[in-house]
Every structure is written in C-alpha cells, then in structure tokens.
Structure 1
Amino acid sequence: MSDQDLTVSVENLRKTFKGPDGGEVAAIDGISMSVRAGELTALVGPDGAGKTTLMRMMAGLLKPDAGSLSVLGIDVAADPQSVQDRISYMPQRFGLYEDLSVQENLDLYADLHGVPEGERKQRFTRMLEMTDMARFTERPAGKLSGGMKQKLGLACTLVRSPDLLLLDEPSVGVDPLSRRDLWTIVQQLIDDEKLSVIVSTAYMDEAERCAQVFVMNKGKLLAEGAPDELKKRARGLTFTATTPDGMPARELQARLIDAPDFIVDAVPKGGNVSFIRQQDADEARIGELLRDAESEPRDEELEDAFMMMLRQHEAQDGEAAAKPATDKAAPEPRRNEDKPVIVVRDLVRKFGDFTAVASTSFDVAQGEIFGLLGPNGAGKTTTFRMLCGLLPATSGHLEVAGLNLRNARAEARGRIGYVSQKFALYGNLSVRENMEFFGGAYGLRGKALRKRVSASIEQFNLDPAAQSGILPAGYKQRLAMATGLLHEPDILFLDEPTSGIDPLARRAFWRTITSLAMSGVTIIITTHFMEEAEYCDRIAIQDAGEMLALGTPREVRKQAGDAGTDMNSAFIAIVEQGRAARDNKAKDKERAA
C-alpha cells in the first residue's frame, strides 16, 4: 500500500508517563498500525487502553518517546504544526464558550483556524444545516442540551474542511437520538467529502459502522481488521438463554458471569440473556448454570469478539478485569412490595415560564431497580434532583424512605446515597482520604468509620493510597460508588454512572448493582446506554418534561410496536411518537385559535 493510500502510519510507537509510585507507565507500548485514507476507522478498548494518548499524538499534542508516527505523510514529531494545519480534532471535553451564542462560537473557531472570510458563509450554512441548528444561532451554548452541544462542538471542529478528522469518544453522555444524528453527520461527511475519520468509542455498535477497527488494551494493539473479520473470533460460542418466567434477566446474567471458567461474558438483552461460552467449557457445567433456562445459538456480534479479546488479554497478564464489587454467594432477594419507598404524585417543576417536569407520577418498591430515561433536556435530571432532595418541587407530592421531602428533606438525605454523573470527589486526595472525609460527612465516626472504609476498599477492590484524580474512569466510578454506599443507605441514586466507561467496567458495575438490589437496596438510575435499561425492573421514559412510557422493559418494548426489537430502537420510537403527538397537538391548537 502506497503512502498516498494511508492517513496514519505508526511503527513501534511508545509513550510513557510517570505513575503514582514514581515509576513509568507505558500508555502506548510498541504499537504498529496503518490507517487507510478515505475511511471511517475505530479505536476501541477499555479505560486506560491508550486510545486518547494515541489520538493526542496523532494531533501533534504529545511527542512520542520512541518509534515513528506519520500523519498525512508528515512526521508529526518533526513538524506538528503542518499536521495541525490539515486536521481537525474534537477531544472528549470540547471547549465551547457557554456565554457565547452558537454563531459566536462558530465565528470564534473560524478566527482561530484562520478560515478566510469568503469561505465562512458557505461553510457555516453547511454545518448548521447538517446539525439542524440553523434555528438556534442566537442561543447561548450554555443553554443547549447535551446532544446539541456535541453537535455544535462537531460543527466548530469542522469550520474548515480538514483532510483528517479525529473524534475522541464524541457520543459520550448523549442519548440514542443525538448519537444517531451525530453519526448521520459524520457519515455524510465521509460520503460527500471523502473525509478520513478516526474515532475512539466505547459503543460497539458505532465501531461496527467502521471499515477498520483497532482493538487496544493497556497500551498494546490486540487485533485489527474489518468488523466482520473480528466477529469470527466468537463464532460458535455465542448463545441466547431464555429467562424463566418471573426471573429478572439480570439474576440469570449474574449467575453466568460469576462462572468465568465456563462463561466469557453475559448481558441481558430483549428480556433474555446473551452469553459467550468458553471454548473448552464443560457442557454439563453449562447446563447446571442455566438450570431451568433454555439456550440456543445466536449470531456473533463485534462486542462478543471484543469481550473475548479483553478477557484473554487480562488472563495473560495474570489480572482479573475490573472485579465486580460483590460476594459470589448472592443474598436471597429482600423486597417489601406492600409500601413503596418512593412515592411521586403529580410532580411539577418550573423555571420561570418553562416547565421542566409536568405532572409526573410513579412509585418505586424496596429493592427495585428503576431506570429514568430520556433524551438530553428531557427533564429526567430535574426529576432525579428532586428525588434526591437537591431541588424543591414547584408542586406535587414527593415521598422518599417514608419522609415527605417538602418538610423533611435533610432527614431524607441521610437515608440515600448519591453518585453524580461527573466525578465529584477530591482529585488531590487519596482513595482512603476521600472515603474518610465523605464518611464523616455522612455522620460516621471513629471505629465505625474505619471499619466501613476498610470494608468498602476491599469490596470495591480499590488501592487506598492511589490519588483519586488520576484513576482511570472505571476506577473513579467504583470509588464514587463505594463512597456513596459508606453509610449503607436504603436508596442509591446513580446519575449516568457508566457514562464514558467501557463494556468491561460496565459489566462489573451492574454485577454490583444486582447484588445491592437483592440485598434490599433500592436503585434509581439514569443512563444513556439503552442496553442498561434491560437490567431494570421498570423504566420510565420522559421527554419535554412529560412521561411517555412507564413499565417493565418488556412492556416498554411492546409499547413501541414493531420498532421495539431492542431497547435502543424502542426508546427512539417512543420519543419520536411522543414528539409527533406533541407537534400535532400544537398544530391543532394553532388552527383552533
């Protein structure tokens, strides 16, 4: 393959950083790879795989310690500016100026990139049309939803026409509708402009769109190839287990995933459990694990191959991957169905003339996992904050752990744990120091505090001396969970806790949640990973402050009709149906006026 056919060429590339113990940690460890021009290419791997470090080196923002790196035929280490003049790079946290309008952000980035005045109008018009943001040019960026901010970030990245676009996890923290829109834009750029795009992603369905996929872990390249080629690694090992009536799919999933000698991976899907068996697994032992559940073969997916490669690499390194914070012996389910622990009646929250939550009602039972879903800007975070006692309701009745939040908010907060979407602990403190500080804030003292901290550190497999701020995302999430559970709350609120973490860490996280629910802890969770809705007993879907769906995952898929083949498509169908009904109602009102 000639140099003209390649966008990126890498030979024995290495990049190290100083570790917390003063030693060196290899973020990129001897990688060699070639990325073809004019295609969509994916970098996939768990937290700490080296994806962001590799992208930053491609963008000329980091200098390699060893090896060679050529981008668009240019030696990046020797001439980073020439590379930066021809590429566009959108990092995970793209720097929008929230006080500036959409148009002012576009103007600013055009100035920074030196886009000639004569080219701007045409470029802006195209970007605004592609992102469907022409109506919002005067709106401050800070007033946009998460999905709209991501689209504006992409538009600002593309105010000039690059030869290579680098996207570092562009869809983290955005809902399925916004993800779909984002990928429509990217695909249009590839089709219309023959643009070369390299994307890092935690979503395997996004990686499936790519012509070329590179699988990374701990700075090493595990595999590369087209998605269909990589899938073949799991051929003949993938099955679906039909969950017996009355059993939550997550309980069968927990039983399977707790047997790593026989099962590579297991995940709830469509009310059943998709699993991968080990190559040499004993048939009789598989039957014992399944018990009353029947299984049948299914087509392998890219995520199956991805999970197999990660598990194998972790085993070769002699390490267990992101252990679930739970004992193998799961407790018997403990649930009180008689009296709900959360009661919501006609809940309303207004900000001035804007209604963020409109007359919402539901109950949550003890030990239930309840999912609160919706597009960015749907009102779910506002509902969530009211349930936690962080935001007063405008009207309606709200009861948590038997306490009315209108007059006992502080007391109720002592009965709940909370894990925020963004890491909210002190980055300059160690793991133990953070836990001791927040344990004290929860009212724990002396021997009781020390005992709970030690037990949580062991349960969540944390290094007590590690500096919190430099932990990988998956470990930060585990530390936040451990801290939120120190005072052994009755109810645990989780606000998009798995945003930005990989499938390996998500499996361990949900194994912990399953165990907590079985012990009687009530879980309220918001998430943009629709596969995670399958772990919930019931889910609610909100949009524009209104409740569109409420029921078990199976009931919600049924409500979506033919479109509800899986939770992702069901979510999109229900939200689009709700928006169409709202638009029709508004038109009828206009005609009547």
Structure 2
Amino acid sequence: MTADDRIALTFRGVTKSFRTRRQAVMAIKDLNVEIRLGKITGLIGPDGAGKTTLMRLATGLLRCDSGTVTVLGFDAARQALQIQGRVGYMPQRFGLYEDLTVQENLDLYADLQGVPVQARKTRYNELIHMTGMARFTKRLAGKLSGGMKQKLGLACTLVHPPRLLLLDEPTVGVDPVSRRELWEIVDRFVREEGTTVLLSTAYLDEAERCDRVLMLDQGELIGQGPPEQFCEPMTGRTFQIRSADEKNRDVLERLSGRPDVVDAVIQGDAVRLVLADGTPLSIDRLLPGENRAALIPVPPRFEDGFIDTLRQRRHDQAGTPLPSALQEDRRIQAESSGTAISVRNVQRAFGDFYAVKNVSFDVGRGEIFGLLGANGAGKTTLFRMLCGLLPASDGKLQVAGIDVRRTAAAARARIGYMSQKFSLYGSLSVANNLKFFSSAYGLTGRRRQHRIRWATEQFDLQPVLDDGSGELPLGYKQRLALACALMHEPEILFLDEPTSGVDPLARREFWHRINGLASTGVTVLVTTHFMEEAEYCDRMAIMMAGEVLALGTPPEIKQLARSNEHPQPSMEEAFIHLIESKDEEA
C-alpha cells in the first residue's frame, strides 16, 4: 500500500467563501489537511469555524472556490456522484421522515442508496440490534426520543456500508447514555468494517477519544495531531482550587477576568483552573483575603489545551466582570428570599401515557436548579407546564407565588423562557427581535428604550443588530435568545437545554452570565445534557420516564453512585449509574 492509498480525504489549498447580505464570509481559508484511512478523526472549533462547510465540501455538496478536494481517490469537483455512492453523511439535522415508521425510514434510505433487496434483511438486523431499536420498528420516527432519532439517523446512514463516514455533531442534544451508545456503534464500524470516520463535536471529551484531532477557527486550521499533543504544553499550569468558605460559583466569578487566568470552570467539588504560563502560584494572589483555600495541581486534559489555544489566538481571557448596570438592576431582587417555584404531585397525561408522573420539588429564590434526564424523561413537558404553556393533568404548580394552573398569564409575566430550539423570528433582524419582544412583554417609552440598549450592550449585539437572526452563528443566536428572555427583568428564568450544540467558549460565556444573574437574586431552572454544567447547579433532580429518580446537591447525587470501583464518580458516571439501575429494576 502506497502513502496515497492510506489517505481517505485530502484538502489542498482549499478556500470557500459565502456571500451574506452585508459582506463576503470566508468559511475555509487555504486549508491543507489529510484524513487517514481506518481512523476516527475529530473536527473541533468554535461556532463559525468552518466545520460543516468542510464536511459538505468532502461530500461534493459544495464546490470550493480554489484548491482541490480528493475523496477516496476521486476529485470532489468532477466526480461528486462517485463520492456520494461511497460516503455516508449525517448532517446536524438528519433528514428523518417523521411520518414514517422506523422500518419505513430504513427501507427508504436503502432504496435511495441502492441496497439490493436480498442484502437488506441481514443489514437491518445488524443495525437494529446495534441501535437497540428492535421494539420500535413500527413506531413513527416523530414519536422517538432525541437519542433514538439520532441512532435511527445513524442507522439510515449506515444502511449501505460507507468507506468514509462523515458525522456532523451527531451527539448534539443527546443524553449521556445515548451518547455512549452512539460511540459504541461508531467504534464497532471502525473496528469490524474498517470504516474511516470524520466527526465534528462540541463535546471535547469525545474529541479525546479520536485518533487524531483537527482544530479550526474562522476557517483556518490552527492545530492538528493526536489529542495528547494538545495536553503537553499545559503541564504545570492546571490546578483545582477548593475553598472552605465560598461556593464554587462565587470562587469562579472572583477568578473571571483575571489576566493570569486562562480558564476557570466548576469541576466536582472544586474549581478547575488553567493559569497563564509563568503565573506565580499563590492563593493570596488569586483569591485575596481567602484564608481557607487550597491550590492543588491536577493533570492537564485536552479541553485545557483547546481553550488555551483559542484564548491565545484571540488575546482573550476567562470571562469578564458583569456590567455594574446589571448588578444594580438586580440588587432589590437579591434581598428577597423564600420559595420561587413549588411543584407538588404534578402529572401530565397524553391519553394513557404519562409524560410526567407525581413529581414534587421546590426551588428557592436565587437558586440554580437543574433538571437532568435521558431524552424523553419528561423535562421539557414539565418546563412547559411551569411556564403555563401546557396544562397539568393533576397536581399543584406555583411560580413566584402564583398558581400556574389558575392564572397562567400572570405567571408568564414573571418569568423568562429560553427554549431548546432557537425560537425567535429568523426573518427579523436582531434589532427588530429586541423591539418585538420588548413590546410583547409590555415595555413602552423610555423603559423599552433602556432595556433594548441594556440588551445590546450586555450581550455585545451591536455588531449584528442589522443581521437576520436566522443567519447568526449559534453563539450569537444564544445571546439574542437570552437577551429577549430577560427583556422584562423576570424573577425566574427557565432554560431548556440552552447550550445544546454551542462550542465550549460560548458555553463558558453563557454560564458566566447565568452565575451573575443568580448572584443577584434571579432564580434559574435549567435542563442540560452536559453533565459538567450540572456542577453549576445548587441542586438538581434526575428524571427518567416522567419520574424523579434522585434529588439533591451535586455531591449528594454523586454519592449515590460511589463504590469501590468508582470512589470519586463524575456527574456523568453518577447519571449513567442511576439510569441503568432504574432500567435493571424495570
């Protein structure tokens, strides 16, 4: 085998640009890279880095402006049909036909990919067994959970065994159990069929599982190599800070914005810290006046190298202090206390099916409370009931002291809601969305102008005010959605998987804002599939099949999964343990 025979995909001097309403955007800039056969290559980068464009170029769905793309020996510009017959491509929003059953979707994709009828039964059996969908072949695709939809999408992509498999963020919006199952399927195809995989992901722990990683930013390749290569420069710069006197969230905010702090995130019962090279190791320097804190060295991880690379490239630092105007706006609310949300024996039935079963919990004012669970656990249904968007079948719901079942409109005036999917008006500009939502919340005159100006400054929306909201990068969409949810200064903020699909830098920025809001008295109820984000919560409930499996602080939840084999379980390990234990009981 020659050197060229070991290469599945080659980009040589590739450039690709797009024209927006305002300017030309360079999506890929002079890219030179090779993807090796039989390996899993991870593709990472912040929003707008060019990851999806690269994949579409590799499938022949897009043509480059200059340079050459060679896929399995074929020229993508001249031989796109030959490439598409050998490549499997699963885009971010996979095209399942929701009015067809699981089996009908498999049949359709087998027809489209020209799979011989006599070969289908064996292939279907393999895929259905691997995805655990044997009991669901007659169920409509639209009735599947998010994780099951992703597994069906992957099965449809693999109906005709591809030599090269392109997966564009296949685990976005998928719970940890389903995410692990998807990876098992991918690993099996690489191991048993020699499939080459190029996979983009927003989960950096997934990138660590890859044989090689490509890092893009603003269309440029800024790093490539095995994951451990990104960790090596971080040796001696990674630590945990544990404080006996302050909450981790407060320690995190004190560290934010410091020029000597590259990254700071909550990790378990401590704050994980990445320091700039050459920073003196001193608690007094990092946390002045803190007498009962420890600075503990920890091994570097891939995510540390990723964040450091991007911060250096952008001359950025780990968060910035919240504007004083926001702090002043919220000071009065911070003085209040008590219960902000009360849920008592709440149920929601759809016919004979109970999406939420006898759920009870309280959330205190100024608390960040997490709702975790597998896809289909009932989290979003519960959210919609609390927001007055869906009536409960039974039980009591109180939000800001208001009975939601009796006066839903009054309750909605006291809350902000940021949905799982971008739900603003994509055809309107950013400025017009701000104007619309300020009016919808009843703001007029000077107060309306003040809040629009506040949102523009607080969320750094000035550069995109005239842009169509539907054309924004995901990070800007997230900022705009949060700004609109906060326009009327709600006491309570509901966040339904707000960081799904968002890159790690944008997630850090988002949680910096949420921590600031909570510290000034705003109550936050959040769902997330990022288990590390659950560490930001004061308390949480883990749900499965509409019921609460566990309720408590992050340390209390992890205690439930502690064993001799896992004396210090991560939140993800605790989550999987609780879900699998419930499955075994059933």
| TM-score in same-fold range (> 0.5) | yes
1:323: how far off? 6.4
**Unmatched tracts of structure 1, length 5 or more:** 584-593
Question: SS of 2:213's equivalent?
Answer: strand
1:321: how far off? 7.8
User: What is the aligned partner in structure 2 of residue 303 from structure 1?
Assistant: 303
C-alpha distance in 1 between matches for 2:182 and 2:286: 44
User: What is the aligned partner in structure 2 of residue 266 from structure 1?
Assistant: 264
C-alpha distance in 2 between matches for 1:382 and 1:145: 13
Percent identity (aligned): 52
Inter-CA distance 459–329: structure 2 relative to 1 (3 Å threshold): closer
User: What is the aligned partner in structure 2 of residue 168 from structure 1?
Assistant: 168
Q: Is 1:215 aligned with 2:215?
A: yes
Inter-CA distance 544–210: structure 2 relative to 1 (3 Å threshold): same
1:324: how far off? 5.8
Inter-CA distance 337–363: structure 2 relative to 1 (3 Å threshold): farther
Q: Is 1:416 aligned with 2:415?
A: yes
Q: Is 1:349 aligned with 2:348?
A: yes
Larger mean CA deviation between 57-66 and 281-290 belongs to 281-290
Question: SS of 1:199's equivalent?
Answer: strand
Mapped contact 2:240–2:295 kept (Cα < 8 A)? yes
Mapped contact 2:257–2:320 kept (Cα < 8 A)? no
Q: Is 1:84 aligned with 2:84?
A: yes
- Aligned pair partner of 1:326 in 322, 325, 330: 322
User: What is the aligned partner in structure 2 of residue 571 from structure 1?
Assistant: 575
User: What is the aligned partner in structure 2 of residue 590 from structure 1?
Assistant: none
User: What is the aligned partner in structure 2 of residue 72 from structure 1?
Assistant: 72
Matches within 5 A, 1:193-212: 193-212=193-212
The amino acid that maps onto 1:198 is L
User: What is the aligned partner in structure 2 of residue 587 from structure 1?
Assistant: none
Mapped contact 2:257–2:319 kept (Cα < 8 A)? no
Inter-CA distance 485–71: structure 2 relative to 1 (3 Å threshold): same
Mapped contact 1:403–1:412 kept (Cα < 8 A)? yes
- Aligned pair partner of 1:289 in 281, 284, 287: 287
- Aligned pair partner of 1:279 in 277, 285, 304: 277
C-alpha distance in 1 between matches for 2:514 and 2:30: 37
Matches within 5 A, 1:502-581: 502-562=503-563, 563=566, 565-581=569-585
C-alpha distance in 2 between matches for 1:288 and 1:216: 32
User: What is the aligned partner in structure 1 of residue 14 from structure 2?
Assistant: 13
Larger mean CA deviation between 469-478 and 457-466 belongs to 457-466
1:398: how far off? 0.8
Mapped contact 2:342–2:361 kept (Cα < 8 A)? yes
Q: Is 1:479 aligned with 2:480?
A: yes
Inter-CA distance 333–302: structure 2 relative to 1 (3 Å threshold): farther
C-alpha distance in 1 between matches for 2:210 and 2:554: 30
C-alpha distance in 2 between matches for 1:288 and 1:200: 35
1:330: how far off? 9.0
User: What is the aligned partner in structure 2 of residue 491 from structure 1?
Assistant: 492
C-alpha distance in 2 between matches for 1:55 and 1:251: 41
User: What is the aligned partner in structure 1 of residue 384 from structure 2?
Assistant: 385
1:119: how far off? 1.2
User: What is the aligned partner in structure 2 of residue 586 from structure 1?
Assistant: none
1:575: how far off? 1.3
C-alpha distance in 2 between matches for 1:124 and 1:380: 32
Mapped contact 2:249–2:536 kept (Cα < 8 A)? yes
C-alpha distance in 2 between matches for 1:257 and 1:193: 47
C-alpha distance in 1 between matches for 2:569 and 2:555: 10
Mapped contact 2:262–2:318 kept (Cα < 8 A)? no
C-alpha distance in 2 between matches for 1:41 and 1:327: 41
C-alpha distance in 1 between matches for 2:562 and 2:3: 50
**Unmatched tracts of structure 2, length 5 or more:** none
The amino acid that maps onto 1:458 is E
Q: Is 1:400 aligned with 2:396?
A: no
Inter-CA distance 108–404: structure 2 relative to 1 (3 Å threshold): same
The amino acid that maps onto 2:287 is L
Mapped contact 1:18–1:24 kept (Cα < 8 A)? yes
The amino acid that maps onto 1:384 is F
Inter-CA distance 255–61: structure 2 relative to 1 (3 Å threshold): same
User: What is the aligned partner in structure 2 of residue 447 from structure 1?
Assistant: 446
User: What is the aligned partner in structure 1 of residue 146 from structure 2?
Assistant: 146
Question: SS of 1:341's equivalent?
Answer: strand
User: What is the aligned partner in structure 2 of residue 52 from structure 1?
Assistant: 52
User: What is the aligned partner in structure 2 of residue 364 from structure 1?
Assistant: 363
Inter-CA distance 330–427: structure 2 relative to 1 (3 Å threshold): closer
The amino acid that maps onto 1:571 is F
User: What is the aligned partner in structure 2 of residue 130 from structure 1?
Assistant: 130
User: What is the aligned partner in structure 1 of residue 243 from structure 2?
Assistant: 243
The amino acid that maps onto 1:435 is L
1:283: how far off? 4.0
C-alpha distance in 1 between matches for 2:225 and 2:539: 39
User: What is the aligned partner in structure 2 of residue 591 from structure 1?
Assistant: none
Mapped contact 1:322–1:504 kept (Cα < 8 A)? no
Larger mean CA deviation between 73-82 and 474-483 belongs to 73-82
Question: SS of 2:425's equivalent?
Answer: coil
Mapped contact 2:336–2:521 kept (Cα < 8 A)? no
TM-score (norm 2): 0.95
Mapped contact 2:319–2:512 kept (Cα < 8 A)? no
TM-score (norm 1): 0.94
Mapped contact 2:339–2:364 kept (Cα < 8 A)? yes
1:282: how far off? 4.1
Larger mean CA deviation between 160-169 and 552-561 belongs to 552-561
Question: SS of 1:458's equivalent?
Answer: helix
1:289: how far off? 2.8
Aligned residues: CA RMSD: 1.8
Mapped contact 1:11–1:32 kept (Cα < 8 A)? yes
C-alpha distance in 2 between matches for 1:41 and 1:288: 38
User: What is the aligned partner in structure 2 of residue 429 from structure 1?
Assistant: 428
The amino acid that maps onto 1:537 is D
C-alpha distance in 2 between matches for 1:432 and 1:453: 8
Deviations 1:226-282 (A, max 9, x none): 01112112111111111324x3212211221221x1000011011211110000324
Deviations 1:324-352 (A, max 9, x none): 68327995896568520111111111111
The amino acid that maps onto 2:144 is L
The amino acid that maps onto 1:136 is F
Question: SS of 1:508's equivalent?
Answer: helix
